[in-house]
Amino acid sequence: MSFLPIFRDIFLLEIVIASVVFAVIAVLLAVSLWRRRAGAGRPPSSRADNMPLEIGYAVALLGIAIFLVVVTANANGRQAQRQEAVLAAADVVTVDVTGFQWCWEFAHRDGPVTVTGACAEDPATRPTLVVPVGRPVELRLTSRDVVHAMWIPDLALKSDVYPDHTNVLATTFDHAGTWLGKCSEFCGTHHPTMEFFIRAVSEQEYQQYLASGGASV
Amino acid sequence: MTAETESAQQPEHRQEDVPPRSRRGTAAAWLTTTDHKRIALLTLGTALVLFIVVGVLALVVRAQLTLPDQHLVSNDFYNGLFTIHGSGMIYLVVTPVAIALGLYLVPLQVGAPAVAAPRLAMTGFWLYLAGTVLIFAGFATALGPAAGGWYAYPPLNSSRYLPGTGQSLWIAGVFIAVLGMIFQAGTVLWTALLKRAKPVTLMRMPVFTWSSIATNLMVIGAFPSLLAAMGLLAWGRVFPNIFTENLWNIAYQHLFWFFAHPVVYVMFFPFVGVVAEVLSTFSGRRFFGYRATVVSLLTFAAFSMSVWGHHMFSTGQASNDYYSLTSILLLVPAGVEYFGFLATVIGGQLRFTVPMLFAIAFVPQFLIGGLTGIMVATPVIDYQVTDSYFIVAHWHYTLAAGSLFGMFAAFHFWFPKATGLLLDERLGRWQFWLLTIGTNVTFLPMFWLGLEGMPRRIATYLPQDGFTTANVIASAGAVLIALSVIVTIANVVTSVRDRRRPAGDDPWQGFTLEWATSSPPPPTNFDREHPLPRVPSFAPLLDERAREEGEERTGDDPTEHGGLRSGGGR
C-alpha cells in the first residue's frame, strides 16, 4: 500500500522528536520545581534577560523548523509522485466513487458494474468496492449532496469528497484483503454508519467479478 | 520623575462620572455600568455559567459514547449536543473569557482610570448575551438546536440539508456574539495603546497586557472574516442553490478558517500571559525573557494569519506545502515563550499556591497540544489523522488541558482582586488534582482512538470496532472533570457566603499595578488612598519592594530590563 509507509515513517520521526522535547521540558520543570521550592532556601534569581542565549536558542529552533519543513515537503512530494505514477500507468483501473446521504456508490469504468448499498445499522447492508491486486487503481471521488470524506484507516487513505468537484486517490494494492472504509467528514444524521468495505482480489477474480456484472466473488 | 506624581492624580478628574456609593450595588447600576471591571465581570460571569452548561452537554456526549451501540439520544440530538458543546465553548466561553480578562485587567495594569469607549465595551457584552440567547433558543424549536458542527460547512448547513430554525438562529447568534467580542477587543486594544498612565511605557507593560494586545490585534484582523462567512451561510439559508457550486463551498472554508485559526491563538495567548504572570509572581522574580516574549507574541500573531489552509489539507484544493511551512514555523515563537516559562521557574523561589499549580500544569499539558499540532501541520500525517479522534485529542489538549488550566490559574489568582475575598486553598487543591487527572484520563486515550480509526462526530460505534475500552476510560475521566467543577462551585459559594477570608490589597505579593490598589478596586481604579505607584519597569511592585528593602541587588537595576531606556524620563 503506497500511503501507509510514508505516514508511518514521518509519524515515527515526529513522535520521537516530540517525545524527546516533552521529556526534556518535563524533566527540567520537575527538577526545578524540587530544587527551587521555597523550603530549599535558594533565593530567587534577579536575572531578567540573557539575550545571546535567547537569540541562539531561537536560531536553533528555526533550524529544527526548517528541518521539519524540508522533511515534510519532501514526504508530501514523494506521495504526490507515487500518485502521479499510478495515474500514468497504462493498465490503470478507474472507479467513479460517489458519496451521498448516506452511503456510497462505486461505478467501475472497466465493466458495466455499479455497486451501492443502504449503509444501515447492519454491516451486511454496506457496499463493497472490489479492486484487483497489483494493478494501479484510480478512485475518482465526488458527492451528490454535501461534503463527505472517504477514509480507509488501515491503509492511511483519505480524501474529502465534494459536490461539483472531483478529487482523485490513486494507489496500488499489493496483497489481497478486505478493509473497512468510513466517512470521516461530518455529513448529517447517518454519518456514523456511512461505511463500506474495500476488497482487493486477484486479477482473475476481478475479471470474473466484472464479467458477472458485480456478483460477489 | 514628575510624570508619576502627575498621573497619580489623573483619575481624580473622572470622579464625577461615578454614581454615588448608595446606588452602585443595584441591578440597574450593574446593567448600565460604564466601569470596565463590571462589564468584564458580567462577561466573565456569563461565560463561566455557560462553561458549566456547555460542559454538561459534553457529559451527555461521553455517556452516549461510553459503550458501543448505545442510543441514549437520537443521532440528530447527538449532533446538536456536540455542535452546541463545540461552538459554545469556542464562541461563548473561551473567546469571551480571553477578551474580557483583558477588559478587566489591562486598564488596571496600564494605570488607566477606565477603559476607552466603555459604552462600546458594554454593547459588546449585550451583543454577546443576545447571541447566546439566540443559539440556545434552538433547543426550543421543533427540529432542535443547530446540528452542523462548529465550523458549519456548506452545503450541509444550507436550508436544504439542515432545515431547522435552530440552524438559522445559530448563524445569527454566532454573528452577533462575535460582533460583540470584536467591540470589546477594540476597546481593550485602544486602552493599552493610547490610554496608559504616563510612566507606563510600552516596554513597561506586563506580559499579560502584551498578550492581550496580540490577542486583540488578531481579533480585529481575523474576526470580521467570520462575519463574512456567517453572512454567506445566511445567504445559503435563503438561496441554498449557491452551494451546489464548489466555488462557494470552498470559499466558505477559506473565509471560515481565516478566522478560525487565529481564534485558536485568541483562546491561547491571554493564558500564556496569565501563566507568565502567575509563574513569575510565585517564583518571586521578574519574568525571564520579557523582551523576547513580547517579540514572539507579536510575531506569532502576525504569522497566525497565514496558516489557515492547514485545516484544508484533505480538501485536495489547498497549497499544502505552503501552509505546512507557515504552520511549522510557528514552533519558533512558541518555543521562545516556553523558554521564558521554564527559565523563570528555574531561577525562582517557588510558592505552590493554587494558581501556581494550575500555571505549572499548563506548561507540560499545553506542550502535548503544541507538539501534536506540529504533527497535524505535516500533510502526510494530517491526511491520515484529520477528522479522527486524534484531532479531537489534539485540540482538547490545547483548549482543555491548556487554556482551561490558564483560565483557572487566572480565576484563583484574580478572584481575590475582583471580590476582596480569598478562595479556600484546600478545595482549590482538590479541584486542581481532580481536573488534572480527569483531563488526562479523558483526552489521552483519544489519541489512540484516532490512530485506531475512530472518526470524530460519530454518534455511536459497533462492538467489533474495538473502540470500547478507550471510550470507557475517557468517560471515567469526564466524571472526574465534573467532580472538579462541582468542587469549584462549592469553593466559590462557601467563600462568598461566609466572607471569612478577606484578601487585602495584595494577597500574593504581586508585581503589577492591579495589586497596588484596593480589592475590589475603586471605580476609577486608583484614587487618593490608592495612588499609582512608581513604574520603573514591567514589574513595578517588585521594584518597589526591592527599593523598600534597601537592597541594591546586583543586576536587578530596572534600567537593565528595557524599562527606563525605552522612553522613560522623556
Q: How far apart are CA A145 and CA B239, in angstroms?
A: 15
| Burial class of residue B205, CB neighbours in 10 A (0-12, 13-18, 19+) | buried
The verdict on a CB contact (< 8 Å) between A49 and B458 is no
Task: Single out the residue of B260, B254, B270, B237 nearest to residue B165, CA to CA.
Answer: B237
Q: How far apart are CA B214 and CA B220, in angstroms?
A: 10
- Provide the 3-class DSSP secondary structure of residue B73: coil
Please give the tally of structural domains in chain B: 1
Q: Is B241 on the interface with A (CB under 8 A)?
A: no
Q: Say which CATH number the domain at B52 has.
A: 1.20.210.10
Query: CB neighbours of B384 closer than 8 A, spacing ≥ 6?
Result: A3, A7, A11, A153, A156, A158
Is residue B554 domain-resident? Answer: no
- Asked if residue B564 has pLDDT above 60, the reply is no
How confident is the model at residue B569, as a pLDDT? 33
Mutual angle of helices B389-398 and B354-376, in 10-degree steps: 140
pLDDT tens, N- to C-terminus, chain A (217 residues): 568 999 999 999 999 999 999 999 999 999 999 999 988 888 998 888 899 999 999 999 999 999 999 999 999 999 999 888 888 988 999 999 999 999 999 999 988 899 999 998 888 899 999 999 999 999 999 999 999 999 999 999 999 999 999 999 999 999 999 999 999 999 999 999 999 999 999 999 999 999 988 876 5
- Per-window interface: B 392-451 vs A, CB < 8 A: none
CA distances from B556 to A49, B503, B566 (A): 11, 29, 17
- Provide the 3-class DSSP secondary structure of residue A105: strand
Bin A175: left if φ > 0, else alpha if -120 < ψ < 50, else beta: beta
Mutual angle of helices B165-194 and B207-238, in 10-degree steps: 150
Under DSSP, the state recorded for B67 is: S
How confident is the model at residue B8, as a pLDDT? 44
Torsion sign over Cα A154, A159, A163, A168: negative
Looking at every residue in chain B, the average pLDDT score rounds to 92
Q: Least CA distance to B451: which residue of chain A?
A: A153
Instruction: State the ipTM, two decimals.
Output: 0.95
The verdict on a CB contact (< 8 Å) between A64 and B317 is no
Query: CB neighbours of A3 closer than 8 A, spacing ≥ 6?
Result: A79, A155, A156, A157, A171, B383, B384
| From B244, B292, B348, residue closest to A54, measured CB to CB | B292
Mutual angle of helices B95-109 and B207-238, in 10-degree steps: 140
| From A6, A28, A182, residue closest to B380, measured CB to CB | A6
Is residue B476 domain-resident? Answer: no
Which element (helix H / strand E) includes A26? helix A4-35
The verdict on a CB contact (< 8 Å) between A146 and B156 is yes
B12 pLDDT tier (thresholds 50, 70, 90):
very low
Give phi and psi for A133, each to the nearest 5: -75, 140
How confident is the model at residue B104, as a pLDDT? 98
Is residue B519 domain-resident? Answer: no
Which pairing describes strands A167-172 and A136-143: parallel, antiparallel, or unpaired?
Answer: antiparallel
How confident is the model at residue A1, as a pLDDT? 52
Average confidence (pLDDT) over B13-37: 76
Is residue B275 domain-resident? Answer: no
- Provide the 3-class DSSP secondary structure of residue B565: coil
Cβ(A158)–Cβ(A147) below 8 Å: no
Q: How far apart are CA B345 and CA B313, in angstroms?
A: 38
Torsion sign over Cα B439, B441, B446, B451: positive
| From A6, A26, A165, residue closest to B246, measured CB to CB | A165
Shortest distance, CA A212 to any CA of chain B (angstroms): 31
Instruction: Give residue B142's domain range.
Output: 32-267
Tens digits of per-residue pLDDT, B166-224? 999 999 999 999 999 999 999 999 999 999 999 999 999 999 999 999 999 999 999 99
Is residue B256 domain-resident? Answer: yes
Q: Is B346 on the interface with A (CB under 8 A)?
A: yes
Is residue B162 domain-resident? Answer: yes
B7 pLDDT tier (thresholds 50, 70, 90):
very low
**In chain B, which residues have their Cβ closer than 8 Å to the Cβ of A188?**
79, 156, 161-162
**In chain A, which residues have their Cβ closer than 8 Å to the Cβ of B292?**
49, 51, 54, 58
The verdict on a CB contact (< 8 Å) between B290 and A49 is yes
The verdict on a CB contact (< 8 Å) between B380 and A29 is no
C-alpha cell read off for B206: 506586563
Average confidence (pLDDT) over B471-496: 97
Query: CB neighbours of B558 closer than 8 A, spacing ≥ 6?
Result: B536, B537, B543, B564
Cβ(B306)–Cβ(B312) below 8 Å: no
Half-sphere exposure of A216 (CA within 13 A, CB side): 7
The domain spans of chain A are 4-42+49-88, 93-211
Shortest distance, CA B116 to any CA of chain A (angstroms): 32
How confident is the model at residue B563, as a pLDDT? 41
C-alpha cell read off for A184: 470521516
CA A26 to chain centre: 31
- Asked if residue B528 has pLDDT above 50, the reply is yes
Give phi and psi for B268, each to the nearest 5: -120, -45
Task: Give one DSSP letter per residue of B379-429, joined into a string.
Answer: HHHHHHHTTBHHHHHHHHHHIIIIIIHHHHHHHHHHHHHHHSBPPPHHHHH
Cβ(B212)–Cβ(B276) below 8 Å: no
Which element (helix H / strand E) includes B7? helix B2-9
Task: Single out the residue of B423, B359, B365 nearest to residue B399, CA to CA.
Answer: B365
| Burial class of residue B506, CB neighbours in 10 A (0-12, 13-18, 19+) | middle
B554 pLDDT tier (thresholds 50, 70, 90):
very low
Mutual angle of helices B354-376 and B405-419, in 10-degree steps: 150
Tens digits of per-residue pLDDT, B275-308? 999 999 999 999 999 999 999 999 999 999 999 9
* B236-261 CB burial, b ≥16 within 10 A, e <16: bbeebebbeebebbbbbbbbbbbbbb
Query: CB neighbours of B195 closer than 8 A, spacing ≥ 6?
Result: B107, B110, B112, B114, B115, B116
Cβ(A217)–Cβ(A205) below 8 Å: yes
In CATH, what number does A93-211 get? Answer: 2.60.40.420
CA B258 to chain centre: 19
| From A29, A65, A184, residue closest to B387, measured CB to CB | A184
Cβ(A125)–Cβ(A118) below 8 Å: yes
Task: Single out the residue of B388, B80, B146 nearest to residue A183, CA to CA.
Answer: B388
Q: In what order do the strands lie in the sheet with A157-161?
A: A128-132, A196-201, A177-183, A148-152, A157-161
Q: How far apart are CA B393 and CA B369, in angstroms?
A: 8
Is residue B421 domain-resident? Answer: no
Is residue B505 domain-resident? Answer: no
Task: Single out the residue of B422, B495, B542, B452 nearest to residue A156, CA to CA.
Answer: B452
Residue type, B243: F
The verdict on a CB contact (< 8 Å) between A76 and B458 is no
The verdict on a CB contact (< 8 Å) between A33 and B345 is yes
